[in-house]
Amino acid sequence: MQVAILMVHVVIAVALVVLILLQQGKGAEAGAAFGGGASQTVFGSRGSGSFLSRTTAVLAAGFFVTSMALAYFATQAGQAPEAGIPDSRLIEQQQSVPTLDDSPASVDNTAPVLEESSE
């Protein structure tokens, strides 16, 4: 189910990018006033503004819904452990782990010193 929603989410995201890039900016109507060929558009003389805007709004709503569904599935998959006092066996196990201070004292950890040569 989660994989299907993820695939729909990706398709909607790509469709949103394509639709947003197809839309004209607000200053695009000025070119149509000087013989911009508005009668040659696919969507009629009014242009594609309302069709693309509605389709973008529907896809944006779908993107929002799939995002919320994926977030819900993510929270359900990663349930946090219950808060509270840990089990005493867990505490004892953590305390029995050796530390760096437990190393034997017979090991020489000093760095070698280079002697200066006198020539």
- Has this prediction a pTM greater than 0.85? no
What residue spans of the chain are helical by DSSP H? 2-22, 29-32, 49-77, 88-95
pLDDT digits 0-9 by tens, 6-42: 999 999 999 999 999 988 776 655 555 555 555 455 5
Tokens of 56: 């973008």
Helix 2-22 and helix 49-77: axis angle, to 10°? 150
CA distance 29 to 36: 9
Half-sphere exposure for 96 (CA within 13 Å, toward CB): 6
